[in-house]
Structure 1
């Protein structure tokens, strides 16, 4: 339990997932802008 708490504080899967989601949305918007031109 103690190690799990420390690991969650240092590396949060939810936080990483939110970052990946933002990056994915940014890439999609970038591609859409490129093809719209």
Structure 2
């Protein structure tokens, strides 16, 4: 599973965004930015 980070908008409450990224990484989710996409 991949998440395009700059294509998402999160609501960050008291560090919840950092925790969400950590949880997703532990679950095997890959994080990239749209600039890394190629044809």
Please, what TM-score do these two structures have when normalized by structure 1?
A: 0.39
Q: Highest CA radius of gyration, 1 or 2?
A: 1
Query: If the length of structure 2 is used for normalisation, what is the TM-score?
Result: 0.37
The structure whose residues are more often helix, as a share, is 1
